[in-house]
Homo-oligomer: A and B are copies of this chain.
């Protein structure tokens, strides 16, 4: 698939809460189709401590406005800089990168996300809707003050919510949510993105219940397009590049 490096224009920077924001970026040329689960590599200008690009999942693509958006959690220098971007600023992106969540043509899909890992669920919801599938969402946050975009997910499907402290939705981790209580599970496929611990727990649960499960890994990357071999994860077919063969993997293939 053709890849590009372009200066995007910041057309929106919307804080969700103290640690998360959504950047809306307009492409200088017509966007190619972006698949759910694909990511971009962002060049953080003007910072001596951010030498390498930073990878972010595409949160949403709006072809009518020719924009993509990123949902970003502030971690260090790079994401802090991104958080200060203003409308009119530019940001250089390499895109579109990586594979994507698989797209069942029918069946019931559960999209599970936690923290900034919810990012790709939105574009996935949109994508599934366009295939006439309404997925369920199960999103987990630390507490009520980090819960956001519930109405937007709701446009694409039913939304379940967990918070670690129980301040909103179910209390506890997503895997403790009643959605997972039934056996067999009413899903043909689970797609999950979130902290490592969450993905492991969900993968284990899915395996136990015999449901196909995909996760989107966030390994450290230098290039993002398959040439440095820094981002590898062990699979049943050996070391695979998370940036090319992934970031989405069938959990049954992973040795993690």
Residues of chain A having any CB pair with chain B under 8 Å: 46-48, 51, 81
> Which residues on the B side are within 8 Å of A48 (C-beta)?
46-48, 51
Closest to A51 in B: B48
> Which residues on the B side are within 8 Å of A46 (C-beta)?
46-48, 81
Copies assembled:
2
> Which residues on the B side are within 8 Å of A51 (C-beta)?
48
Majority-rule SS of A interface residues: loop
Instruction: With both chains docked as a complex, state the minimum distance between the C-beta of A122 and any C-beta of chain B, in angstroms.
Output: 31
Instruction: With both chains docked as a complex, state the minimum distance between the C-beta of A50 and any C-beta of chain B, in angstroms.
Output: 8
Instruction: With both chains docked as a complex, state the minimum distance between the C-beta of A53 and any C-beta of chain B, in angstroms.
Output: 13
User: What are some 7 contacts across the A-B interface (CB < 8 A)?
Assistant: A46-B46, A46-B47, A46-B48, A46-B81, A47-B48, A48-B48, A48-B51
Instruction: With both chains docked as a complex, state the minimum distance between the C-beta of A216 and any C-beta of chain B, in angstroms.
Output: 30
Which of A47, A48, A51, A81 has the most CB atoms of chain B within a 10 A radius of its CB?
A48
A184 to B170, CA, bound (A): 94
Instruction: With both chains docked as a complex, state the minimum distance between the C-beta of A136 and any C-beta of chain B, in angstroms.
Output: 44
Instruction: With both chains docked as a complex, state the minimum distance between the C-beta of A249 and any C-beta of chain B, in angstroms.
Output: 34
Instruction: With both chains docked as a complex, state the minimum distance between the C-beta of A51 and any C-beta of chain B, in angstroms.
Output: 7
Which of A46, A47, A51, A81 has the most CB atoms of chain B within a 10 A radius of its CB?
A46
Instruction: With both chains docked as a complex, state the minimum distance between the C-beta of A48 and any C-beta of chain B, in angstroms.
Output: 5
A47 to B48, CA, bound (A): 6
> Which residues on the B side are within 8 Å of A81 (C-beta)?
46
Closest to A49 in B: B48
Instruction: With both chains docked as a complex, state the minimum distance between the C-beta of A106 and any C-beta of chain B, in angstroms.
Output: 50
Closest to A50 in B: B48
**Closest CB pairs A-B (n = 5):** A46-B46, A48-B48, A46-B47, A47-B48, A48-B51
Instruction: With both chains docked as a complex, state the minimum distance between the C-beta of A82 and any C-beta of chain B, in angstroms.
Output: 13
Instruction: With both chains docked as a complex, state the minimum distance between the C-beta of A42 and any C-beta of chain B, in angstroms.
Output: 15
A51 to B49, CA, bound (A): 11
Instruction: With both chains docked as a complex, state the minimum distance between the C-beta of A22 and any C-beta of chain B, in angstroms.
Output: 23
A46 to B81, CA, bound (A): 10
